[in-house]
């Protein structure tokens, strides 16, 4: 979930909650029949009564829980930043938080903290100097030019390899530069104006700022034209081109890559994955052909773009005016404390996470969710054994892959050590951020040439999300999502299986979606399916693509069925598996209705509840372009309209909107 997925407990504890995971009829719309629009039947009143706050781009079950988590993190950070005898961890996160909350000091500093790097950029005279400047920005965690990182070798999942991939854009996606519709043209105009304003804040005269913004747009458009579309990036083979490091010259000429690798602090290596060769041909051509002065402007822009949220109010406001208002529709900046809490979690997540878990995630909650995982794994195994479209050779390997699944729950077994990160309470705040990011960059690059640490987490404990990792062949659920409305130790099984059970099933199914199925039990990119099973899978996946491409979240704007197919397949499989697991859990148990609803009905009501959201039109457009997840209403109605189990639970007749025609119903897992 690339992506990402991606969401009021005043004193949060799974056992002392203010909010419960429950089915509340006050959120229903009794004017809508379940058979016509189940999402709005379940959430209609909630949608009317919960408009998007001015500071948000959407208001959803995920974001509400995130809001509650932030309140709890704020308590921890307020306490840590004022403690008289703090522990080492409390001092580090407390000092970071305090430096970010010093608005007066940050405003007084203006752009001064960037002065040394701006001076180095200004001193650049050659393309080699520009490449060195890109290396310095990369070491600060600033994206520019391209991306360089470490990654498990897709075909040798136990080894970490260097990877060069496409990047360097200031807009969210290549399509923002290339689409010809009026909305895209307007956004490009607003983007150029924004770049000019930011350059002006750095001291450029108006004419120079305008010319610089046009140069940035021209250069980024060239990089966008050479970038693969997101749909193509779903094919892992499209981003795998392993080669000797010396072969880079075949694509980029005489660029001094060894100097770049030394400057960014990478260890010596002899091979790498040049993920997107055509992009690097274009990058090298642009580095040679574009005037150094334009590259200087481009680097200054990407430096200030990355730094703006942590600088003086003038920078913060202008950054929000474009990336907040223009792109997502939010009209009000979030309070400073929320922004600093979020950045503390991003920069020192496992340090803050230790304090969070100790206070808000009891061991009993972890044990209960692990049982849910075991139940779903057992059901999925039975489903794999009986799938009529999968042949025996493929089935045998699929079962082995499921058996090899690893499960991370709540928080890491071993915590990341941030003791080498210098955090100065007196700031500058932006430099504290860059030092924390530099720590992560160095840590990631140091992995090159070493075995993969498959115990490592890629989300922080307070995160309201979950993920499946193909190279690890494992799922991870941070403590942050293991709370109402997704999980509640006091809720009945139907509600928990419908909510967190569906999410667990979703992540499990990712191992077998259009992308995940291409990795074997050990996490290696390899063709382990027979051609017959591949053909049958693709036939069913194509039906999912067609179904979701018909959905229209805004007039004239359709869901990208190809981009979202992996998440849609996982949603469909997740609900199916969680429902079957609930049936096993209920064996021998009384099935008395609660609140007038059977356990089966409560299960599906819980599914629809977790996807409820109000989203601004601007944010919908952004998400449809960049997000592999479908909008929430289709994540509820789309899968359920395929399921006989749902139709039976609510007596949905053939021909109703929530009952797809028999010839169009799709069932993969």
For 390-401, the three-class secondary structure string (H helix, E strand, C coil) is CCHHHHHHHHHH
Residue 259 three-state SS: helix
Lowest mean pLDDT among 7-21, 395-409, 468-482, 526-540: 7-21
Question: To 5 degrees, how large is the angle CA 281–CA 285–CA 289?
Answer: 175
Whether residue 37 has pLDDT greater than 60: yes
Query: What pLDDT was estimated at residue 267?
Result: 97
Bond from prior residue into 83 cis (ω within 30 degrees of 0) = no
User: Which position has the token pair 């399916």?
Assistant: 529
Q: In the structure, what pLDDT confidence band is assigned to residue 366 with cuts at 50, 70 and 90?
A: confident
User: Which position has the token pair 């209920």?
Assistant: 586
Whether residue 11 has pLDDT greater than 60: no
- Of the candidates 507, 513, 562, 567, the residue annotated as catalytic is 507
Q: What is the arithmetic mean of pLDDT over 574-596?
A: 93
Separation of alpha carbons 611 and 276, rounded Å: 35
Separation of alpha carbons 137 and 332, rounded Å: 30
Q: What is the 3-class SS of 405-466, one letter each residue?
A: CEEEEECCCCCCCCCCCCCCCCCCHHHHHHHHHHHHHHHHHCCCCCECCCCCCCCCCCCCCC
Check if 359 is active-site. Answer: no
CB contact at 8 A, 237 and 525: yes
Whether residue 503 has pLDDT greater than 50: yes
473: left (phi over 0), alpha (psi -120 to 50) or beta: left
Query: What pLDDT was estimated at residue 22?
Result: 78
Q: In the structure, what pLDDT confidence band is assigned to residue 128 with cuts at 50, 70 and 90?
A: very high
Number of neighbours of residue 425 by Cβ within 10 angstroms: 15
Query: What pLDDT was estimated at residue 641?
Result: 98
Bond from prior residue into 70 cis (ω within 30 degrees of 0) = no
Whether residue 2 has pLDDT greater than 70: no
**Residue range 317-348, pLDDT digits in tens:** 999 999 999 999 999 999 999 999 999 999 99
Find the Cα–Cα–Cα–Cα dihedral 484, 66, 375, 456, rounded to 10°.
Answer: -150
**Residue range 134-151, pLDDT digits in tens:** 999 999 999 999 999 999
Strand partners, 59: 614
Q: What is the arithmetic mean of pLDDT over 414-438?
A: 97
Separation of alpha carbons 601 and 603, rounded Å: 5
Q: What is the arithmetic mean of pLDDT over 78-90?
A: 97
pLDDT above 70 covers a percentage of the chain that reads 97
Query: What pLDDT was estimated at residue 210?
Result: 98
Residue 271 three-state SS: strand
DSSP state of 627: -
User: Which position has the token pair 């965690």?
Assistant: 141
Strand partners, 408: 476
Q: In the structure, what pLDDT confidence band is assigned to residue 21 with cuts at 50, 70 and 90?
A: low
The CB-based long-range contact list for 149-154 (8 Å cut-off, 24+ gap) reads 149/444, 149/445, 150/444, 150/445, 150/447, 150/448, 151/273, 151/471, 152/452, 152/471, 152/472, 152/523, 153/242, 153/273, 154/236, 154/240, 154/273, 154/471, 154/519, 154/524, 154/525
Q: What is the arithmetic mean of pLDDT over 77-85?
A: 97
Whether residue 18 has pLDDT greater than 70: no
Domain with CATH 3.40.390.10 in the chain: 25-61+365-407+483-664
Q: Which two tokens stand for residue 461?
A: 């404990």
DSSP state of 642: T
CB contact burial 563-575 (16+ within 10 A = b; e otherwise) = bbbbbbbbbbbbb
R_g (Cα) of the chain, nearest Å:
25
The superfamily (CATH) of domain 25-61+365-407+483-664 is: Collagenase (Catalytic Domain) (3.40.390.10)
Query: What pLDDT was estimated at residue 10?
Result: 27
Query: What pLDDT was estimated at residue 294?
Result: 98
Whether residue 285 has pLDDT greater than 60: yes
Whether residue 589 has pLDDT greater than 90: no
CB contact at 8 A, 430 and 315: no
Domain with CATH 1.10.1380.10 in the chain: 113-314
Q: In the structure, what pLDDT confidence band is assigned to residue 484 with cuts at 50, 70 and 90?
A: confident
CB contact at 8 A, 369 and 499: no
Q: Which two tokens stand for residue 179?
A: 């689409």
Whether residue 97 has pLDDT greater than 90: yes
CB contact at 8 A, 14 and 22: no
User: Dihedral of CA 173/179/182/188: which sign?
Assistant: positive
Whether residue 588 has pLDDT greater than 50: yes
User: Dihedral of CA 137/143/147/149: which sign?
Assistant: positive
Which of 506, 521, 236 lies closest to 398, judged by CA?
A: 521
DSSP state of 518: G
User: Which position has the token pair 């909107």?
Assistant: 657
Separation of alpha carbons 612 and 506, rounded Å: 17
Q: Which two tokens stand for residue 243?
A: 């080669």
**Crossing angle of helices 336-347 and 429-445, rounded to 10°:** 30
Q: What is the arithmetic mean of pLDDT over 469-480?
A: 95
- Of the candidates 571, 600, 627, 633, the residue annotated as catalytic is 571
CB contact at 8 A, 124 and 135: no
**Residue range 377-411, pLDDT digits in tens:** 999 999 999 999 999 999 999 999 999 999 999 99
Query: What pLDDT was estimated at residue 7?
Result: 30
CB contact at 8 A, 507 and 494: no
Find the Cα–Cα–Cα–Cα dihedral 17, 23, 27, 28, rounded to 10°.
Answer: 180
**Residue range 529-581, pLDDT digits in tens:** 999 999 999 999 999 999 999 999 999 999 999 999 999 999 999 999 999 99
Separation of alpha carbons 53 and 67, rounded Å: 12
Question: To 5 degrees, how large is the angle CA 437–CA 442–CA 447?
Answer: 130
- pTM for the predicted model, two decimal places: 0.92
Separation of alpha carbons 188 and 196, rounded Å: 12
Residue 274 φ/ψ, nearest 5 degrees: -85, 85
Check if 31 is active-site. Answer: no
- Residue 54 burial by Cβ neighbours in a 10 Å radius (0-12, 13-18, 19+): exposed
DSSP for 133-182? HHHHHHHTT--BSBEEEEEEETTEEEEEEEEEE----SSSSTHHHH--SH
Q: What is the arithmetic mean of pLDDT over 446-454?
A: 97
Separation of alpha carbons 579 and 564, rounded Å: 23
- Residue 55 burial by Cβ neighbours in a 10 Å radius (0-12, 13-18, 19+): middle
pLDDT above 90 covers a percentage of the chain that reads 92
CB contact at 8 A, 318 and 200: no
**Residue range 164-181, pLDDT digits in tens:** 999 999 999 999 999 999
Residue 156 φ/ψ, nearest 5 degrees: -150, 75
Average pLDDT, whole number, for the chain?
Answer: 94
Bridging pattern class, strands 156-165 and 242-244: unpaired
Choose the CATH number for 113-314 among 1.10.1380.10, 1.10.10.60, 3.40.50.800, 3.40.50.2300.
1.10.1380.10
């Amino acid at each position: 979930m690339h992506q990402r997925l991606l969401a009021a407990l005043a004193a949060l504890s799974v056992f002392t909650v203010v909010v419960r995971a429950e089915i509340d009829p006050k959120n229903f719309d009794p004017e809508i029949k379940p058979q016509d629009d189940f999402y709005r039947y379940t959430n209609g009143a909630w949608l009317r009564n919960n408009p998007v706050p001015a500071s948000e781009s959407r208001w959803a079950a995920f974001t509400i829980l995130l809001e509650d988590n932030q309140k709890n993190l704020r308590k921890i950070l307020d306490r840590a930043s004022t403690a008289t005898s703090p522990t080492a961890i409390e001092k580090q996160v407390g000092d970071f938080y305090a430096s970010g909350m010093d608005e007066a000091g940050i405003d007084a500093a203006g752009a001064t903290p960037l002065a040394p790097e701006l001076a180095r950029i200004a001193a650049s005279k050659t393309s080699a100097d520009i490449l060195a400047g890109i290396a310095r920005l990369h070491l600060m965690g600033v994206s520019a030019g391209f991306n360089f990182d470490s990654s498990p070798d897709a075909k040798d999942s136990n080894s970490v390899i260097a990877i060069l991939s496409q990047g360097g854009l200031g807009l969210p996606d290549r399509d923002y530069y290339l689409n010809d519709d009026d909305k895209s043209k307007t956004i490009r105009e607003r983007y150029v104006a924004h770049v000019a304003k930011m350059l002006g804040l750095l001291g450029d005269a108006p004419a120079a700022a305008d010319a610089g913004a046009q140069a940035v747009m021209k250069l980024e458009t060239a990089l966008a034209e050479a970038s693969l579309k997101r749909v193509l990036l779903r094919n892992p083979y499209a981003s795998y081109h392993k080669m000797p490091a010396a072969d880079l010259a075949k694509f980029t000429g005489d660029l001094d890559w060894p100097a770049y690798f030394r400057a960014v602090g990478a260890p010596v290596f002899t091979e790498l994955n040049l993920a997107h060769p055509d992009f690097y041909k274009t990058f090298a051509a642009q580095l040679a052909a574009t005037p150094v002065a334009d590259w200087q402007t481009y680097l200054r822009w990407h430096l200030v773009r990355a730094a703006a949220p942590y600088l003086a109010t003038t920078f913060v406001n202008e950054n929000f005016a474009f990336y907040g208002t223009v792109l997502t529709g939010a009209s009000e900046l979030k309070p400073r404390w929320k922004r600093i809490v979020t950045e503390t979690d991003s920069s020192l997540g496992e340090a803050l996470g230790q304090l969070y878990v100790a206070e808000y995630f009891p061991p009993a909650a972890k044990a209960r969710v692990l049982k849910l995982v075991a139940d779903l794994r057992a059901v999925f195994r039975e489903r794999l054994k009986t799938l009529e479209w999968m042949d025996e050779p493929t089935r045998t390997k699929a079962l082995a892959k499921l058996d090899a699944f690893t499960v991370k729950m709540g928080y890491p077994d071993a915590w990341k050590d941030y003791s080498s990160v210098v955090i100065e309470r007196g700031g500058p705040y932006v430099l504290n951020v860059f030092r924390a990011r530099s720590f992560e960059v160095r840590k990631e690059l140091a992995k090159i040439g070493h075995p993969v640490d498959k115990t490592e987490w890629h989300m922080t404990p307070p995160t309201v999300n979950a993920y499946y990792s193909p190279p690890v062949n494992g799922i991870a659920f941070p403590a942050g999502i293991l709370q109402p409305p997704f999980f509640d130790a006091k809720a009945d099984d139907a509600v928990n299986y419908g909510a967190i059970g569906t999410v667990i099933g979703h992540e499990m199914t990712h191992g077998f979606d259009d992308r995940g199925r291409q990795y074997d039990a050990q996490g290696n990119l390899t063709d382990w399916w027979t051609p017959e099973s591949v053909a049958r899978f693709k036939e069913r996946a194509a039906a999912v693509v067609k179904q979701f491409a018909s959905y229209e979240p805004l007039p004239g704007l359709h869901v990208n069925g190809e981009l979202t197919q992996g998440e849609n397949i996982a949603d469909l499989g997740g609900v199916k598996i969680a429902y079957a697991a609930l049936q096993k859990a209920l064996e021998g148990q009384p099935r008395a209705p609660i609140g007038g609803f059977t356990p089966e009905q409560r299960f599906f009501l819980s599914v629809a509840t977790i996807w409820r959201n109000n989203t601004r039109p601007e944010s919908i457009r952004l998400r449809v372009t960049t997000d592999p997840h479908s909008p929430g209403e289709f994540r509820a109605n789309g899968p359920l309209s395929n399921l006989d189990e749902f139709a039976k639970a609510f007596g949905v007749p053939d021909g109703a909107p929530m009952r797809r025609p028999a010839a169009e119903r799709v069932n993969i897992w």
